[in-house]
Amino acid sequence: MSTADGLLAAIDGVGADRRRGGFSRHGFDRAELELREWFVGEAERRGLAVRTDRNGNVWAWWGAPGPDAVVTGSHLDSVPGGGAFDGPLGVTTALAAVDLLRANWFVPARPLAIVVFAEEEGGRFGVPCLGSRLLTGAIDPDAARRLTDADGVSLAEAVAEAGLQPARLGRDDEALGLVGRFVELHVEQGRGLVDLGAPVGLASSILAHGRWRFRFTGEGNHAGATLIGDRRDPMLPASALVLAARRAASGVDGARATVGRLVPNPGGANVIASTVDLWLDARAGDDAGTRAVVGEISAAAVSAAADEGCTVAVTEESYGDTVHFDAALRDELSGVLGDVPVLATGAGHDAGILAARVPTAMLFVRNPTGVSHAPAEHAEAADCTAGVVALATVLERLAG
C-alpha cells in the first residue's frame, strides 16, 4: 500500500531548482506537465478514470462522474524555489487515502474524485488559483488568456501547447456542477498545529488577500556619469514602498504585506534603471484591513515617486475577500475526526476559491517549523500518515 511520503519521494527530483534550492514547478511548464503525467499514471494504476477539464484541471474519478460528488485534491505547481509539500501533499494523501479505503473494502456510495488544479501559486502567470478561478468563473477568460509569463508567453499559448483549446478557457458549470463537497488537505503553513501538539487540524478561514503590481518609471542612465541631482531613479520610490509595506502592515492587527519580487529594467549593475516593477502581496483579517494597508502603501509610493520625478502605475492582479469555510461541513468533519484543532490560515488555497460555489473544508497536516514557500518546508512521515487516515475517514463519511 502506498504512503503519502512514499509518493512524494517518487516525484522528489521533478523541477528541482539548483539555483534557488527547493522546486520550481509552474503552470504548464515542463516540470508541472511531468507531474501531471505522473499523477495520471498513479490514478490510472488505481483504476480511476482521468479527464482534464477545459481549464487544465485534472480530475481522477473513482466511479462514474456524477452529481453530488465528493472531491478532494490540491495542486502540483510550486512557488519559485518552493518546498516539497505545498500542494503535492494534498495530492499524494488523496491517492494514499484511496488505497487505504480500498484496503478496507470501502466502496463509495456516491462519485468520488481527486482533482489537481492548475497554476495555484500564480508562479508563472501571476494570478494565484488560476485553474480554480477559471473553473468557477472568478476571472474573466479573456483577461486570463492575455496573461503572460516572464518570457512573454501567454496563457493561451501555454495551454494550447499543453493540448487545450484557449478559446474554451472559462467558467465550467458542467464540471463544477458535479461537485457536492470539496475537501482539500494541505501542509500547514504556520505553527498552529505544532504549538498545539496535534498532527491534523481543520481550517476555519482564509485571510483576505491580494496581489498588486507597481511600475515605477524614471530615466535610465549611467551610474557613473549621472550626478545625483540629475537623476530620476525609480529604485528610490520602489525602496520606499518596501519599507512602507512593513510600516503599514505593522499598524493593522494581523495584517501582512510583502514584496518578494522586484524587477529593475534593464537590471545592469552600473545602470540607473528606467523602470522598476514590483509585486505587493497584502493580507489582513478582513477586506477593510487589507484595503487600508494597501492604501497607505500606495500613498507612500505615489509621494516617493513624485519626490524623485518618477511616475507610478498600480494594477490589482488578484484579490479575494476573507473566506469562511462551510461551518456545517467543518463541524461534521470535526465530529468524525474527534476534536482536532480548528485554525485560521494566512495562506490562500483553491479550496478558498471553490468555497464561493460549493461546501468546502480544509484539513491541515502539522508542519514542525511552520516554514513554507521555502526549501525547508517539511512534514514528518508519521504526520503525513495521520493526514491520510484523517482524509480517508472524511471521504468514507462523506461518500459512504
CA dist., res. 209 & res. 289, Å (int): 10
Residue 348 interacting entry, from ligand HGY, Mn ion, none, C-beta within 5 to 8 Å by type? ligand HGY
Shortest Cβ distance from residue 363 to ligand HGY (Å)?
Answer: 16
- 264 contacts Mn ion (rule: CB under 5 A): no
- Smaller CB separation from ligand HGY, 233 or 350: 350
Shortest Cβ distance from residue 185 to ligand HGY (Å)?
Answer: 14
Q: Quick one: DSSP state of residue 115?
A: E
| Grid cell locating 267 | 537590471
CA dist., res. 188 & res. 345, Å (int): 8
Residue 184 interacting entry, from Mn ion, ligand HGY, none, C-beta within 5 to 8 Å by type? none
Q: Could you give the count of Cα atoms lying within 13 Å of 308 in the half-sphere of its Cβ?
A: 28
Q: Near Mn ion by CB under 5 A, which window of 78-86, 106-114, 143-151, 212-220?
A: 78-86
Shortest Cβ distance from residue 175 to ligand HGY (Å)?
Answer: 22
Shortest Cβ distance from residue 102 to ligand HGY (Å)?
Answer: 31
Strands 179-187 and 69-75: parallel
* Interface positions with ligand HGY (CB under 6 A): 120-121, 128, 347-348
- Smaller CB separation from ligand HGY, 83 or 108: 83
Residue 87 interacting entry, from ligand HGY, Mn ion, none, C-beta within 5 to 8 Å by type? Mn ion
Residue 396 interacting entry, from Mn ion, ligand HGY, none, C-beta within 5 to 8 Å by type? none
| Grid cell locating 367 | 508542519
- Smaller CB separation from Mn ion, 86 or 149: 86
Q: Helices then strands (H, E): number in the chain?
A: 13, 15
Shortest Cβ distance from residue 130 to Mn ion (Å)?
Answer: 13
- Minimal CA–CA distance to 91: which of 330, 325, 365, 370? 365
- Smaller CB separation from ligand HGY, 33 or 129: 129
CA dist., res. 27 & res. 356, Å (int): 23
Residue 337 interacting entry, from ligand HGY, Mn ion, none, C-beta within 5 to 8 Å by type? none
Q: Quick one: DSSP state of residue 285?
A: S
80-119 footprint of Mn ion as x/- string (CB under 5 A)? ------xx--------------------------------
| Grid cell locating 240 | 520606499
What would you report as the CA-atom Rg of the chain, rounded to the nearest whole angstrom?
Answer: 22
Shortest Cβ distance from residue 373 to ligand HGY (Å)?
Answer: 6
Q: Are 222 and 272 in contact (CB under 8 A)?
A: yes
- Smaller CB separation from ligand HGY, 130 or 340: 130
CA dist., res. 344 & res. 346, Å (int): 7
> Helices 381-399 and 88-103 meet at what angle, rounded to 10?
60
Residues in touch with Mn ion (CB under 5 A): 86-87
